[in-house]
Amino acid sequence: MQVEQVRRPLPDIFREKPEGGLASHTETLALSSTQVKEAISVLEGYQRAGTLEGKADYVLNKDALLPKMQKHYQERQGTDPVTTRLVSASQILFSSSSFLSLTFESPSHSDQQAVAIFVRSVGAGLLLDWESWTGFNDMDWPTLQKEKPQTPVWMRVTAAPGDYYNHEFADKAHYLCVKLISPDGGHSMYGYVRRSTAVATYFSEQLRYADFEITGRAKALMRLTVRITFPPAAKSDQCVNIRQVLPNRWFMFDWESRDGL
C-alpha cells in the first residue's frame, strides 16, 4: 500500500450530515470476492506493521489518529483484537458512500467478535477505521468512573439487558436499565433510558428483555456507541444517563461526534 494514498481526501459524508438523514443499505458479500480479498490484504498489512507509524499507514484519517494510537498502545497498554475465523462480509452503503465490513470471531472483545470497517478514500485504496476496530474510547473506563462527567461523553460499548435499579435510577417503572460493557469486557456500568421513549422500546426488542425477565440470562448482545452523562452529584460510579445511541456499530462519522447534535 502506498503511503501517499492515506493523505487523499475522504468522502464528503464524513464532514457533513447528508440532507434527508443517513440512509443505509447492506449487501452480503462472498468471502471469496475481490472486495473481501482486498480488505483482508489491507488488514494483514496493518497487522504485520512493526511500528505505530507503520500501522497508521493503513488507517483512516492517519494524522488525527496517531495520538490516539499512541495513547492506546503506549499509555494504556492496549492491544489489537485477536481474530480467528472470518464469519461474514458485507458492503454497507451510507447515502452515496460505500463501506466494507468484515466480521471475525474474536475472544478478546466482549461480544466475541471483531468488526473491521474499511473506507475507500477519494482516489485511493481501502483504509481501516481504527477506532471501531479496537473499540477505542477517548476517555478510558477508570477515568470515566472516577470523574463522573456531566458533560456528554461518547463511549463504544457492548450492551446487554440489565436489572440494576438503584440511586437516582431506583424507579424500575420509570427507567429501563441497560448493562454497558467495555469492548475488552473488563469493565461495566449501567445506563438508563425512560421507558416511555422509542429508544427504550428498541432496546427491549433488540436485547430480548422478555426472555431476560424470565430466565435472568442475557439472550442477546449489541454493539452501541452511546452518549452518556452522570447525574449531578452522582451517588454512584455505576449509573449513567443514556443521551444518544448509534445502534449496532462502533463506527462514527465526524459530524456525529460533534457537540450539539
Q: What number is the average pLDDT over the span 179-191?
A: 95
Q: Give pLDDT tens digits for 127-146.
A: 999 999 999 999 999 999 99
What share of the chain in percent tops pLDDT 70?
A: 87
SS (H, E, C) 142-203: HHHHHHCCCCCEEEEEEEEECCCCCHHHCCCCCEEEEEEECCCCCCEEEEEEECCCHHHHHH
The CATH number for 3-134, chosen from 1.10.405, 3.30.70, 3.30.720, 3.10.450, is: 3.10.450
Average pLDDT in the 228-252 region?
94
Confidence category of residue 95, pLDDT binned at 50, 70, 90: low
pTM, two decimal places = 0.87
Q: What is the pLDDT of residue 254?
A: 76
pLDDT for the residue 7: 41
**Class of CATH domain 141-256:** mainly beta
Q: What is the pLDDT of residue 120?
A: 81
* pLDDT over threshold 50, residue 222: yes
Q: Render the chain in DSSP notation, one character per residue.
A: --GGGGGSPPPGGGTSPPTT---EEEEE--TTSHHHHHHHHHHHHHHH--SHHHHHTTBTTHHHHHHHHHIIIIIS---PPP---EEEEEEEEETTEEEEEEEEE-TTSTTSEEEEEEEE-TTS-EEE-HHHHHT--SS-HHHHHHH--SS-EEEEEEEEE-----GGG--TTTEEEEEEE-TTSS-EEEEEEETTSHHHHHHHHHTTHHHHHHHSS----EEEEEEEEPPTT-S-SSEEEEEEEEET-S---GGGSSTT-
Average pLDDT in the chain: 87
Domain ranges of the chain: 3-134, 141-256
pLDDT tens, 10-32?
555 455 565 555 657 889 999 99
